[in-house]
Amino acid sequence: MPRMRLIPMLTMAAVATIGSVGPASALDIRTDHPRLYATASDFAALKAEFPTNLLPANYGTVVVTLKPGARDKTRDLQDAIVFGNWEDSSSHLFIRHIDGWDTAGTIGYQVGFKTGPTTWVVGERVDLRRGETASIKMHYNGPDKFLSITVTGGTLQSNGGTSRSLPGTGWAPDPAKPQKFYFVSRVNEEVVDIKVLDGENREKWSGANLDWTLQAAHYRFIDYATKTAAIIQACSLVVPTSNSSSVCNVATGNRAVVTQAGADMGLAYQLTGESKFGQAAQHYVKLIGTVPVESNGEWSMGARVGALALIYDWLYAYLPDADKSDIRRTIIDTVRKDITGTNSDHMDLIGMACGNQIGLKPSTATIECASTADISRFYISGHNGSANHATALGLLAIADGETKAMVMPMIDTLHRHQAFKVGDRAYGFLPTREYISQDGGHHSLFAYGSGGELLQRVRMWNTVQPTGTDALINEHTKFAPKLIKPYIYALRKGYSEDASAWDGTFPPTGDYFDTRVTDSTVGYMALGAANAGDGVSTAFHKDYVQRGRSRLNAQALWERLYFPGTRAPAQPNNLPLAAHFAVAGNVFMRDTWLYDEAVLLDFKSTSFASENHQHLDQNSFSLFYKAPLLVDSGWYDAYYSSHWENYNRRTIAHNTIVVYDPLEKFERSGTTFSNDGGQWYKGYAYPTLDEVKPGGTNALDGVTVFEDTPSYAYTSGNASKAYKSGVAEKLHHVDGFRRNIIYLRQDGGKKPIIVVHDRINSPKKLPATSLLHSVTRPETFGSQIHTGTAGIYSVNGSRNAPLRIRNGDGMVTVDPVLPRQATIRVVGGTAAEGHACEPQVRDVEKTTEDRYDCRFNVRQPDGTWANYPPRDQTDASEDRSDIGNWRIEIEGAPGWQYQNFMNVLRVEPNDHGTGVPEVAASQHLPSSDFSVDAVALDASQSVAFATKFGPADKVRFDPLDPKASVLVAGLVPNAYFSYSPIPGSEEYAVVQESGPGTGRYLSSPKGVLKIPAR
């Protein structure tokens, strides 16, 4: 994935010294190994989950009772083992599936006794009836040379019966070399019990309480680790590989590959004690030793240090002293390496820990910052968190004996970066995250905003201490159980015959890489909450995280190691249907907790601006129902790519408002970017905690109102400060752009109707444009005529006619109610439309030219249009199914300072047709004093928004039916209002009254008045 941006030196000079990390008292580190993430007792507890040495020495019986199930081709292993081990070096027995033996009515199993990997004593095919409780019994009598196989609920192929006896056939377990036991089965198969009986038919062991998910993960992990060990052993120490995904690429590889390889070898050794994993780890240490310590900067330096740390700590008992010495030396040399050059402090580990141009003290006796460490600009985002963690892993692993005194000063600095206090105010990575994620939200959800890695880091700092707990760190992670909440709210589920790639994903906001509910980080957050007593998170983990994984996924093993506590009992999801995460500005609205049927709207208006992984997307939203309907457009291909700089992170790629000013320039660090008419960065690119709080240089207004009731959810965001301000500002910096959204839940099984209302204040009287992005081409009743500018189409026919978007099994109809007489354009397309989009502004060496790609059209600095395509996809696993291929542009007339927009979104199941209504179902309701923008959704319900910037005490409009229900937003909260006709007018007035009375209605605490049908 792309890296963070580097920060100019002058920016760093502005950091307040209040965030500096000074001297700290030394930590108390436990003296035994392992201690990183897990202790010896943690590994022992995990190892105890996997049965060994189950079979009686000479006489025994194994009875497996199960309900056979069909193979899920996407989630089950091929020819999955049920019990035992298919290939073992000594005497072993097993029961496994043979997928090719399954029929319409039966499931085929192979039952076998063997004395070596390929030496058979007997093998038998068993066919059991699908879905019916059945059993397979395997009996052996070694001294008397007797074997038997008996089944219920099926037949044996050898004789067509239910039993087969083999007198004179000898087999018995080898007590000197017990076989391995694995339990995998199939996801759709229920193994009721496994019993092992001795020669007297007494139960020796029962598998009735086996955790089959954990057991399958164990099998998968050992298999994967064995293959990885072989790959590592084959890695050349002379000819390095450049394949970024190869475990052999330690020169430029990342943590997900290099550090994980060290962890895999360490865990495999802890579970098995087999030397092949230790030998592979030793070879990996040698491989890392062939690479210059500074290779590829902190990105790979941290990855290598992390791998060495886990090998050192988790294989401590295995490694000879010489190898330990080599590891210590390499870790120290890597951490101490000071890379010189421009922005060099952000290219090595010591700069990531000490800060701008600070470096280390010259003494080789300690690893210690030359002066007070200061990285306060990177507590919100950036690589410093991961780099510091990698450094901490390395130094904590080797903090023994003589080395301890050398590394402790830097360990103390790294620990203090996690949390420290200046007076009564807390700073550091955790207090900063505590402020932003106080309710679980994050400004760069859903890929980079995850908290799973944070939970791992917290666990490490706890396990390295003799008490097993770190009081200061734990004091500032009380928010951690809430981190899973946005993921519970925003999970997307939806299938169609030709596209299901989005199933189990999340809205692709911010710098987004493919993130799924089955990912490790989502599992960690869910279990962190479950262990803290949240039963909804327990159920979410079981029903969506765990159930969505295949038997190829070993993640349950890591989860048990890192989160071994007792989970709260699963409970039904009783959360409200909408949620607001305050500082981060995330709002999620849905109509049901049945994920497959939910209409999900996610709205974002963050309370601060920053650059790293956060887009210029304030007051934007997306919409999902069975498929992506309105989407964040663009692709996170790389930092600094032409696509990322000029389109993906920019306002033009989001469902929000742009205001094109030909005189405006979007410049940074001497470079001028596309003029999309959108938002721009405010304050510092990497702000401190104080700078993002209200009143700080980077503060925005964000979400100003949120309310959820059974019948509606309502939110309002003010993004005015997200646009440039100045002498001739295109949008007023206080009252420039306020967006209101009402999510109106419907009765009778109907899907919700969503009303989006925007109030624009442009002192320069520039026309604003409302954007709606889609995967598929928006359909219109009138024809779409190419304007002559590539990729831009005008819509013929009546003004404000509806548009319809179909995708997968979902559909949304857009009624553009305001502005009246709007200019509507459809923009985008590819070769199918036959219009070349030139120029194509691309990264030539990394982007294949496609002159017909018009999906990412935006004005260049000179005002001409150009397409900015993303770089070629290098990872086939990355999903681009909702990248956004089209956008709707709705624009008002020029010359108006105040401009109001209103779009009504009607969500339905896809009718899989081609028709679009000629006339919108929504009807604008006029207001003579323009005090309200109102719309009749149908004959029975209307919605209105007060146009006054502050709470309104009276509005008036002409209702379609005075007896219809009305929802009015933007009024004085907690006040009584009357709703009555205005004499001599067809209009009705909503007027604040002094108190309750007949015909008066109480507004909500958020200023929404609900007038029921009369």
Tokens for 654, please give them. 């989001």
> What pLDDT was estimated at residue 574?
94
Whether the pLDDT of residue 248 is over 50: the answer is yes
- Do 76 and 100 form a contact (C-beta atoms < 8 A)? no
**Mean per-residue pLDDT, 843-851:** 90
> What pLDDT was estimated at residue 242?
76
**Mean per-residue pLDDT, 335-340:** 90
Confidence of residue 349 (pLDDT cuts 50, 70, 90): very high
> What pLDDT was estimated at residue 341?
62
> What pLDDT was estimated at residue 876?
63
- Which of these, 386, 346, 387, 431, lies nearest to 521 by C-alpha position? 386
> What pLDDT was estimated at residue 845?
87
pLDDT in tens, 655-707: 999 999 999 999 988 999 999 999 999 999 999 999 999 999 999 999 999 99
% the chain with pLDDT above 70: 96
pLDDT in tens, 621-658: 999 999 999 999 999 998 899 999 999 999 999 999 99
Using alpha carbons only, what angle is made at residue 155 by residues 150 and 161, rounded to the nearest 5 degrees?
75
> What pLDDT was estimated at residue 1?
41
- Do 242 and 249 form a contact (C-beta atoms < 8 A)? yes
SS (H, E, C) 776-818: CCCEECCCEEECCCCCEEEECCCCCCCEEEEECCEEEEEEEEE
Whether the pLDDT of residue 18 is over 80: the answer is no
> What pLDDT was estimated at residue 514?
86
Whether the pLDDT of residue 12 is over 80: the answer is no
Whether the pLDDT of residue 9 is over 50: the answer is no
Tell me whether the CATH fold assigned to 578-690+699-909 matches the one assigned to 923-1011: no
> What pLDDT was estimated at residue 625?
97
Please give the CATH topology (third level) of the domain spanning 52-206.
Answer: Jelly Rolls (2.60.120)
pLDDT in tens, 938-967: 999 999 999 998 999 999 999 999 999 999
Identify the three-state secondary structure at position 436. helix
- Which CATH number is 578-690+699-909 given? 2.70.98.70
Whether the pLDDT of residue 2 is over 50: the answer is no
Tokens for 90, please give them. 């000594």
> What pLDDT was estimated at residue 494?
83
Confidence of residue 15 (pLDDT cuts 50, 70, 90): very low
Using alpha carbons only, what angle is made at residue 433 by residues 429 and 435, rounded to the nearest 5 degrees?
125
Please give the CATH topology (third level) of the domain spanning 923-1011.
Answer: Immunoglobulin-like (2.60.40)
In whole angstroms, what is the distance from residue 74 CA to residue 336 CA?
Answer: 47
- Residue 125, CA distances (Å) to 100, 615, 626 in order: 12, 59, 43
pLDDT in tens, 281-299: 999 999 999 999 999 999 9
Confidence of residue 463 (pLDDT cuts 50, 70, 90): very high
Q: Is 814 exposed, middle or buried (0-12, 13-18, 19+ CB in 10 A)?
A: buried
pLDDT in tens, 249-275: 999 999 999 999 999 999 999 999 999
What is the end-to-end Cα distance of the chain in Å, rounded?
A: 57
Lowest mean pLDDT among 345-349, 380-384, 674-678, 852-856: 345-349
> What pLDDT was estimated at residue 26?
59
Q: Which residues contact 881 (CB under 8 A, 6 or more apart)?
A: 499, 501, 502, 628, 775
Whether the pLDDT of residue 196 is over 60: the answer is yes
Q: Which residue has the tokens 């962890």?
A: 263
**Global pTM value:** 0.94
> What pLDDT was estimated at residue 495?
66
**Mean per-residue pLDDT, 617-622:** 98
Confidence of residue 21 (pLDDT cuts 50, 70, 90): low
Q: Which residue has the tokens 């999620």?
A: 588
Mean pLDDT of the chain: 93
pLDDT in tens, 416-433: 999 998 888 999 999 999
Query: What are the residue ranges of helices labelled H in 464-564?
Result: 471-475, 485-490, 520-531, 535-540, 555-562
Identify the three-state secondary structure at position 221. helix
SS (H, E, C) 270-307: HHHCCHHHHHHHHHHHHHHHCCCCCCCHHHHHHHHHHH
> What pLDDT was estimated at residue 6?
37
Domain boundaries, the chain: 52-206, 578-690+699-909, 923-1011
**Mean per-residue pLDDT, 120-149:** 97
Whether the pLDDT of residue 5 is over 80: the answer is no
Using alpha carbons only, what angle is made at residue 1005 by residues 986 and 600, rounded to the nearest 5 degrees?
85
Backbone angles phi, psi at 406, to 5 degrees: -70, -40
pLDDT in tens, 739-774: 999 999 999 999 999 999 999 999 999 999 999 999
